[in-house]
Amino acid sequence: MKRETRFQAAFITGASSGIGAAIATELGARGARVVLAARREPELRVVARAIAERGGRAELCVLDVADTSATREAVRRWDEETGGLDLVLANAGVGDVQSADKLEWRAVERILDVNLVGALAVLTEALPLMLARGRGTLAAVSSLAGLRGLPTSAVYSASKAALRIFLESLGVELRPRGLHVVDVRPGFIDTPMTRKNRFPMPFLMPLEAATERAIGGLERGEPVVAFPWQLSMAMTLAEKMPDALWRAIAARLPTKPD
């Protein structure tokens, strides 16, 4: 029997690959009208075909979320064209590993523009539209890396930590008003991007399992959807450690090669 989703219309950024594409494909197959937003049109078309082959419906939105004017306009336009988005997922993100002595502002700015500023542009533009209807799910993909400062991940971890606090603050205000705010907080997921990594990835999770966990949390409106559970537990314990203890532990972690 075909599984159905409670979402009618979803706008998903970073939908051309990885977990964004996987979530979009599964939601489309389960009956949601999915707007696929990302920079790479050929990859978006591949995802759209995969959705169509499973009987779903997808729309393409070629978009760089770092362009906040275009991003805000796209959210408004697709909300109108779909008759009201009930899921907006800010998933677009870029990552980089760099030791402190090699940090350059251009790379720092790009990570913050996509991971933080772009995500906030998506969410804040959708917010009044959902509030006017008194329903909807605002969500973003942060990271377990946002729970503590990690060696060679200063900018990435900082961008995800800021996004995490933004979502937490929104959730406190919006749940009583009928909106769900969901922080999807993955660790290492087995995707083509992570397969290029040359450093240890503890508790690497299969993409299919990660997708199921993310969609389940989104549909239930869970404030935090963290996975895999082993890495989530480890990082939660790390977050609660005294700072001096964490600094001593982090200094001994294997560094990611530049």
The residues assigned a catalytic role are 156
Phi, psi of 6 (to 5 degrees): -80, -10
Cβ(200)–Cβ(255) below 8 Å: no
Cα 250 to Cα 230: distance, rounded to the nearest angstrom: 18
Cα 6 to Cα 26: distance, rounded to the nearest angstrom: 12
Phi, psi of 93 (to 5 degrees): -160, 155
Instruction: State the DSSP H helix or E strand holding residue 79, giving kind and residue range, or none if neither.
Output: helix 68-81
Cβ(54)–Cβ(25) below 8 Å: yes
Cα 226 to Cα 119: distance, rounded to the nearest angstrom: 18
Cα 69 to Cα 194: distance, rounded to the nearest angstrom: 31
